[in-house]
Structure 1
Amino acid sequence: MKRFTLTLAALAIAAPAYALVPINEEPVIVETLLQGFIGDAIDDNCPTLEARKLRALSELTKLRDYALKQGYSASEVRAFVTSKEEKAKGKAIAAERLKERGAEPGNPDAYCAIGEEEIAKDSLIGQLLRSTK
């Protein structure tokens, strides 16, 4: 009985280590979606770059699979990616990051320069964009 109690106590202490953070705080998920929001903003504001929609869909599928492997349920994932509040928050953060790099609405050259830089770096943002020049 003592061994059982010790084992139970050890499991109780270890259990929080296995607890998932809320999906909207999981770093890989949040950062990957943010890269998509940045790419989308560049697509919206730069006339010579466009989104690679099939690539974006592929990345979303990979991200969904990652989330499921981490232990999030399909309904948690779906609720997160369809949340208007989370989408607005992501777009606001993306706009802030772009602003820090000199891009603001009404300045397409800045968005284009950032997009071309990301394409050259072969970053996820760059992989989500294609030049139409």
Structure 2
Amino acid sequence: MHSYKSVFWAATLVASIAGTASAKSLRDEPTIDRPMLSVALAIEISDKCSSIEARKLKGLNYLWGLKSAASKLGYSDDEIKEYVESDAEKSRIRGLGEAYVRSKGLNPTSDADLCTLGEQEIASNTLTGSLLRSRN
């Protein structure tokens, strides 16, 4: 899932407003962490599946919203940047994404299975699905 770099880079671009220091990590904020997984899945699916494309502007707008939410929760730009650039967080999100794909009975290394997952997510109107569009 090499495309996580794109997600983290985009999130870093929108990290411009400083908040107050927080004792919790962003990984412990389900309103931030879970949606980041959904965005990462959408990017991975669109990168691996030629019949599905990412809704890029919608995705970037969503990332701006997550950045704003993190700031409102009191996280500083440095804390947000640390979260989105952390190799450990990227690896953790990758593991969560692969586990999610497997939980659907699919193989996370199979492009065809990622296409299947993408179509399921679109049909179910999940957050991941809302960030994708079928090219068919």
TM-score range with shorter-chain normalisation? Answer: 0.7 to 0.9
Deviation (angstroms), 1:106 = 5.3
1:87 is matched with which residue?
A: 90
Q: Hey, what's the Cα distance between the residues in 1 that align with 2:68 and 2:59?
A: 14
Alignment-derived partner of residue 123 in structure 1: 126
Structure number with larger C-alpha Rg: 1
Supply the distance in 1 between the matched residues of 2:122 and 2:108 (Cα, whole angstroms).
Answer: 20
Task: Give the structure with the larger helix fraction.
Answer: 1
- Aligned residues: CA RMSD: 1.7
Normalising to structure 1: TM-score of the pair? 0.77
Assess if the C-alpha contact under 8 Å between 1:38 and 1:95 holds in 2.
Answer: no
Map 1:56-71 onto structure 2 (within 5 A): 56-71=59-74
Alignment partner of 2:53: what SS?
strand
What code does the residue aligned with 2:60 have? L
Percent identity among equivalent residues?
Answer: 34
- Match of 1:40? 43
Q: Which runs of 5+ in 2 are unaligned?
A: 1-21
Please name the residue that 1:7 is paired with. Answer: none
Distance 1:28 1:52, change over 3 A: same
Residues 105-120 of structure 1: matches in 2 within 5 Å? 105=108, 107-120=110-123
- Following the alignment from structure 1 to structure 2, what is the Cα–Cα distance between the partners of residues 106 and 32? 22
Counterpart Cα distance in 2 of 1:118 and 1:90: 18
How many residues are paired up? 115
CA contact (8 A) 1:34 1:90 kept: yes
